[in-house]
């Protein structure tokens, strides 16, 4: 099972304070369209300067943190990437197959816990 953690607190400078936070809107849009992917809300992924933020992870696979996400533009990109992550044995989607926004806005990645030796 792949999990998509979504920061629901994310708000960028200049966003109207009275409106629903972009992070919360992103979470709701993803939740609605995620199908068999698990979508989980998180209060902060500590990527505030490059929000909105998500992390795609699964037991025994690499974790990817992706930022600079616009809830009105990038829901399809995130879901496409999460499905590629889910389909790959180690959670390492082929670079050229990743949506361009994901390629350009990957904040960091972390190997699965049971890694040993030099992780490539």
What is the contact surface with a copy of itself in residues (CB under 8 A)?
3, 5, 8, 40-47, 53, 55, 57-59, 63-65, 67, 106-111, 113, 115-116, 118-120
CB of 15 to a copy of itself, least distance (A): 20
Alpha helix segments (H runs only) across 45-93 = 75-87
CB of 73 to a copy of itself, least distance (A): 21
Q: What CA–CA distance (Å, rounded) separates 30 from 40?
A: 10
CB of 97 to a copy of itself, least distance (A): 16
The owner of tokens 């708000």 is 11
Q: Assess whether the previous peptide bond of 52 is cis (omega < 30° from 0).
A: yes
């Amino acid at each position: 099972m792949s999990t998509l953690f979504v920061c629901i607190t994310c708000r960028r400078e200049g966003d109207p304070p009275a409106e629903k936070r972009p992070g919360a809107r992103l979470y709701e849009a993803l939740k609605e369209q995620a199908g068999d992917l698990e979508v989980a809300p998180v209060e902060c992924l500590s990527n505030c300067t490059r929000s909105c933020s998500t992390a795609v992870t699964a037991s025994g696979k690499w974790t990817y943190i992706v930022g600079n996400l616009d809830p009105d533009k990038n829901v399809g990109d995130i879901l496409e990437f999460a499905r590629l992550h889910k389909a790959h044995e180690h959670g390492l989607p082929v670079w050229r197959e990743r949506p361009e926004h994901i390629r350009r806005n990957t904040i960091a990645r972390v190997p699965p816990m049971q890694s040993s030796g030099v992780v490539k």
